[in-house]
Amino acid sequence: MDIKTTLATQGYFQARSVAAPQPASAEEGFANFVSGFAATLSEGEATARAAMVGGADPHALVRALADSQLAVETVSTVRDKVVEAYQEILRMPV
């Protein structure tokens, strides 16, 4: 066996164990989702306030508004999917 192949194999297995996804609970995922949403909205509000008094770049304002809009659309889409799943469960015969 070639030494280069052995070293490459060892490096692969070390990198594989480090890059493996860590299992997270649904509660942690939802908490991260909500905190990220709140942070995006508060960042957008802060940038909008700074733009009103002339302390922010117009490009930063547009980016913050676009990020806020995307966050709100994402949350509303997730809400719609949850409501749809709930309605589907209610339609199931018992």
Whether 9 is in a domain gets the answer: no
Whether 5 is in a domain gets the answer: no
Contacts of 67 (CB under 8 A, 6+ apart): 40, 43, 44
Reading phi first (left if > 0) and then psi (alpha if -120 to 50, else beta), residue 59 is in alpha
Predicted local confidence at residue 20, as pLDDT: 66
Residues of the chain with pLDDT under 50: none
Whether 15 is in a domain gets the answer: no
Number of domains within the chain: 1
Whether 10 is in a domain gets the answer: no
For 1-24, write each residue's pLDDT tens digit.
566 677 777 777 777 766 666 666
Whether 59 is in a domain gets the answer: yes
Whether 17 is in a domain gets the answer: no
* Domain membership of residue 75 as a residue range: 24-91
Whether 39 is in a domain gets the answer: yes
pTM: 0.63
Predicted local confidence at residue 70, as pLDDT: 93
